Amino acid sequence: LLTIAGGKLTGYRKMAEKVVDMVARDLGQAGRSFKPCNTDKIPYSGGDFGGSDKMPAFVEDRAQRGVKLGLAEEDARRLARRYGTNVDVVFNLLASGRDRAEAYGLRPDVYAELAYGLRHEMVATPSDFFIRRTGALYFDIDWVKENQDAVIRYMAAACGWSEEETERHARELEARVMEATVVEEADTGLPAGIVGA
C-alpha cells in the first residue's frame, strides 16, 4: 500500500509520476518489468496546441469563429481559453442547439458550456456545473445568479428530473450561492451580509 497526501490539482501529474515510478521500481525488484510513467507525454484534454506559445494565436482564431456564431467577443474568447482545443466541439454544440438554448432562456454561450458539460464532462447537478465545471460560483457569482434558473430548467429536461428532484437541485444550488456570498459575522468580525471578496 502506497499513500500519498497533500499537493494540489496543479501538481497531480508530478505526484502520479512519482507513485507510478516507485511502483514500477518496486515491482522491478520483484522480477517484473514495467516502464516508467509517461504522463508528461500525454496532452491535457483541450491542451493540444503544439506548444503553449501557440495558444494565444489559437484563442484569437477561435474567438473570431465564436463571434461569427453570434457570440460576444468576450464570451467567445473566454470559451476558447477555457476549453482550448475542445472549443470546436463547444462551438458545434452551440451551432446545432440555438433553438434549444432559446427555448430554455439560455444565453448561447451558457447553453454551449452546459451542453458540453453534460455530454463530455459528466455534469450531474447545477451546482456541479457552476462550481466544478465553470468555477463561476467562486469567480463570477453574478453570472451564476443571472443564469441559474435557466440552467436548472434545461438540466431538469435533459436529465429527466421529477419536480421534486428539480426543486432539490435548485435548493442545493441556492445554498451554495448563499455560502459563496454571505460572510458570517462570527467568521470575520464584519457585519453579517457583507459580500466576501
Residue at 189 is within a domain: no
Residue at 14 is within a domain: yes
Distances in Å between the Cα of 34 and the Cα atoms of 1, 16, 23, 159 are 18, 15, 9, 43
Residue at 191 is within a domain: no
Give the predicted TM-score (pTM) of the model.
0.78
Total domain count for the chain?
3
**Pair (130, 76) in one structural domain:** no
> Looking at residues 57-74, what average pLDDT do you find?
96
**Pair (87, 102) in one structural domain:** no
In the predicted structure, residue 76 carries a pLDDT above the cut 70: yes
Cβ pair 49, 58 in contact under 8 A: yes
**Pair (135, 162) in one structural domain:** yes
Mean of per-residue pLDDT scores for the chain: 89
- pLDDT confidence of residue 197: 43
- pLDDT confidence of residue 187: 54
- The whole domain housing 85 covers 48-95
d(CA 141, CA 144): 5
Residue at 63 is within a domain: yes
**Pair (73, 150) in one structural domain:** no
Q: Could you tell me how far CA 119 lies from the centroid of its own chain?
A: 13
Cβ neighbourhood burial of 8 (10 Å; 0-12, 13-18, 19+): exposed
pLDDT tens readout for residues 43-63: 888 988 888 899 999 999 999
**Pair (110, 177) in one structural domain:** yes
pLDDT tens readout for residues 163-197: 999 999 999 999 999 999 875 444 555 555 555 44
**Pair (106, 73) in one structural domain:** no
- pLDDT confidence of residue 186: 44
**Pair (73, 118) in one structural domain:** no
Cβ pair 148, 180 in contact under 8 A: no
In the predicted structure, residue 126 carries a pLDDT above the cut 80: yes
**Pair (125, 147) in one structural domain:** yes
